[in-house]
Amino acid sequence: MSKRKLILFSPELPNCHCHDRIFKTQYETLTVSVEDEFLAKLSSEPADAAVICFCSARVEDVEHVLRFNALTGPIPVLTCTNTLNPEFIREATQGGVARFIVCDMDAEKIADIINSAIRDKELKEYFETLWPGSLQSSYYIRKLIDEIVHVFPHRMKVSEFAERLGIDRGWLHKLCKQAFGMPLTVILRQIWVYQALRMMQYTNLDNTEIALQLNYSEESSMSRDFRKELGLSPNEARQELTKNNTPKFLG
C-alpha cells in the first residue's frame, strides 16, 4: 500500500505532538523547520498535503501563517495545534489554511481530517483532468462541482443537486451535457469509482469496507459500477493497481 505524502513545517519538531503519533506512522512525511524551505517545498514537491505545526506556538503567532503567501496553491494546508482559538481559526483561514487539527484528537479523527482535505483536492483535480476548464466554467457548473465535493461521500439525487443550485432538473441535465458531455448520474458514478480506486491505492480496506465507506447499499452495487466504467471487477482493478498499471480515471 502506498502512503500519502505530507510536508510538515515545524520549527520545533520535538514539540509537535502529532508527528510521532500520526504523521510519521501513517504518512510519508517530509519535515522542514525553515519557512523559506517550506515555501519552496510547497511549489516543488509532489505532496498530497502540507501541515503547519503550531503545537509550541502562541495564538498570536498566527501572523506567520499570513506571511505564507503560497498557501492558496493546489496543495491543501492544515495546521496542528493544542487549541482552536476562534481568532486563530479566522486568521488562519484567511491565510489559506484548509483544515484544523487539535493534537489531543483521536488518531483516526486526525487521519480523517487530513484524508478529507486530500480527497477534496483530488476530486477537483479529477474534474479538471477529465474536463479541462470545468473549474473555470459557468457559475452553475462551478457551483455543482463545489456541491459534489462538499457532500461527498453522501449520496444525493439529481433533483437534490438541482434544488441546491436553484434550477430545475431539466436545466441541470442540459448544463451537464454541455459541460461534460454526459448526464450527472454518469458523472457521479465515475466519481465513486475513481474514489474507490484511490482507496484501493492508499488504504488497507477490502472491497466490502470500501463499498461501506462510499455509501454503496451493497458491495455488488460497487461491482456493477466498476463493470460499467472500467470493464473490470473491483478485484481485477485492484490487481491492475498492484501491477502498477493505471486504470481509467487515474491516468
Torsion of CA 12, 14, 19, 21, to 10 degrees: -160
Assess contact for 25 and 45: CB atoms under 8 A: no
Return the closest-CA partner of residue 179 out of 225, 145, 216, 217.
Answer: 145
In single-letter form, the type of residue at position 219 comes to E
70 has a pLDDT exceeding 60: no
At the fourth CATH level, the homologous superfamily of domain 5-117 is Response regulator (3.40.50.2300)
Look at the chain and count its residues.
251
**Residue 224 to residue 205: CA distance in whole angstroms:** 19
Domain boundaries, the chain: 5-117, 118-242
Tell which CATH classification among 3.40.720.10, 3.10.105.10, 3.10.20.30, 1.10.10.60 matches the domain 118-242. Answer: 1.10.10.60
pLDDT digits (tens, 9 = 90+) for 152-161: 999 999 999 9
**Residue 149 to residue 183: CA distance in whole angstroms:** 17
179 has a pLDDT exceeding 70: yes
Region label for 244, one of left (φ > 0), alpha (ψ between -120 and 50) or beta (otherwise): left
**CB under 8 Å to 134, separation ≥6 — which residues?**
127, 128, 141, 145, 179, 180
| Residue 110 pLDDT class (50, 70, 90 cuts) | very high
pLDDT digits (tens, 9 = 90+) for 15-59: 888 898 899 999 999 999 988 888 888 888 889 999 988 886 665
Task: Write out the three cell numbers for 128.
Answer: 479538471
Return the closest-CA partner of residue 96 out of 65, 52, 53.
Answer: 65
| Residue 190 pLDDT class (50, 70, 90 cuts) | very high
What does the angle CA 89 – CA 149 – CA 176 come to, to the nearest 5 degrees?
145
pTM score, two decimals? 0.83
CA-based R_g, the chain, Å: 20
E strand map for the chain: 5-9, 28-32, 49-53, 77-81, 99-102
pLDDT of residue 1: 64
